[in-house]
Amino acid sequence: MKIGILTAGGDCPGINAAIRGVGKTAISEYGMKVYGIASGFRGLIENLYTELDEVQLSGILTLGGTILGTSRDKPFKGDPTVENKIPKLIRKNYNELGLDALVVIGGNGSMKTAHKLTEEGLNVIGIPKTIDNDVWGTDVSFGFDSAVWIATEAIDRLHSTANSHKRIMVIELMGHRTGWLTLYSGVAGGGDVILIPEIEYDMEYVARYLEKRARNKKPYSIVVVAEGINKPKGMSAASFVSQAIRDKTGLETRETILGYVQRGGTPTPFDRILSTRFGAKAVELMVEGKFGMMVSKDGEHIVPVPLSEVGGKVKLVPPDHSLIRKTRKMGISFGDKKI
């Protein structure tokens, strides 16, 4: 068999581990030919590819980013006159390259495109990748654990400077339109207030909560906010929240937007293992002829989920998530009136 691999959407730690998992399984177990397609779906459209062999696949397990490059190109979105030419071009390139299957490593947008390519007749397997952990149909995507680790380490460092200056520290984390990364990092980092898009917050209540902490001789507070929370257009979440705290409490407040460091560097051991398992499973599904599927984590198992069920959905944090229920009882505030 000849297979292609592409990586699309935002990069994250673990992508190269997934490429390695697919490539090494395909080559050493099944003697397949493996092609890396450059820059996400753009590489399929522009026919940008290179053969991957054991040499290219060695030494990349721990490497951040993606050796293939990525883009946010969406072949099925855009000018309708061009639109229906793109799928035909992709199918032409796929057939001329002689591919028997294509592995798409990406987030929920990429899984939607992967499903559409399946409908175009390509044999596609999806692997869920994103620091946001917002891909529906899997317990977790790789990249998430690494981003939680990076964000938690940053929050740990904010405690010491907040304590030295007796300040309120506001830190904004990524996560696109969901709060998974902020919830897990906020709890792991000992945040006092955690604001996520899935729970409507009230800055009046946040202010009263922080004043109460100050009255109770708490020397500082840590406020962890998701980039996707409700806020004025053109303002970052961190700026909006920290300004509102200053205005409503007079407490000395500073803000940090952690940004792209959450997407960089080497994957955690958990993500290396998850990426490897996802990659190996993707090849098994190909050999079994099970296409149009995304590999997913379901408890301790790696199982296939139909792309038709995944594409275009966003996995939101349930407001009654056990982590939220338990930390509310510890006195953590989620910015709403429920305590």
Instruction: Catalogue the active-site residues.
Output: 132
Query: Do residues 100 and 1 lie in contact, with contact meaning Cβ atoms separated by under 8 Å?
Result: yes
DSSP 3-state of 104: strand
| H-helix segments, 84-236 | 85-96, 108-119, 144-165, 180-188, 203-215
Tokens of 177: 């339109």
Q: Quick one: which of 74, 116, 263, 315 contacts ligand F6P (CB under 6 A)? A: 263
In this structure, the strands spanning 33-37 and 49-52 are antiparallel
Residues that bind ligand F6P (rule: CB under 6 A) add up to a total of 11
Query: Do residues 177 and 230 lie in contact, with contact meaning Cβ atoms separated by under 8 Å?
Result: no
Distance of CA 309 to the CA centre of its chain: 19
Of 10 and 304, the one with the shorter C-beta distance to ligand F6P is 10
Cα 110 from Cα 8, distance rounded (Å): 6
Report the nearest approach of ligand F6P to the CB of residue 265 (Å).
14
Under rule CB under 6 A, residue 14 binds ligand F6P: no
Of 72 and 157, the one with the shorter C-beta distance to ligand F6P is 72
Report the nearest approach of ligand F6P to the CB of residue 232 (Å).
18
Under rule CB under 6 A, residue 131 binds ligand F6P: yes
Under rule CB under 6 A, residue 130 binds ligand F6P: yes
Element (H, E) at 235: none
Residues 194-233: x where in contact with ligand F6P by CB under 6 A, - otherwise, as a string: ---------------------------------x------
Q: Quick one: which of 175, 191, 197, 304 contacts ligand F6P (CB under 6 A)? A: 175
Element (H, E) at 255: strand 253-257
Query: Do residues 296 and 128 lie in contact, with contact meaning Cβ atoms separated by under 8 Å?
Result: yes
Query: Do residues 175 and 134 lie in contact, with contact meaning Cβ atoms separated by under 8 Å?
Result: yes
Under rule CB under 6 A, residue 174 binds ligand F6P: yes
> CA distances (Å), 99 to each of 68, 72, 96, 102, 244, in order?
17, 23, 8, 7, 55
Select from 170-178, 240-248, 291-299, 331-339 the region that touches ligand F6P (CB under 6 A).
170-178
Count the alpha carbons within 13 Å of 30 in the hemisphere toward its beta carbon.
20
Residues 82-111: x where in contact with ligand F6P by CB under 6 A, - otherwise, as a string: -------------------------x----
> CA distances (Å), 263 to each of 100, 158, 210, in order?
32, 19, 31
Report the nearest approach of ligand F6P to the CB of residue 237 (Å).
11
Under rule CB under 6 A, residue 132 binds ligand F6P: yes
Select from 84-92, 124-132, 194-202, 242-250 the region that touches ligand F6P (CB under 6 A).
124-132
Select from 31-39, 49-57, 172-180, 277-285 the region that touches ligand F6P (CB under 6 A).
172-180
Report the nearest approach of ligand F6P to the CB of residue 239 (Å).
16
Under rule CB under 6 A, residue 255 binds ligand F6P: no
Chain residues that interact with ligand F6P, rule: CB under 6 A: 10, 72, 107, 130-132, 174-176, 227, 263
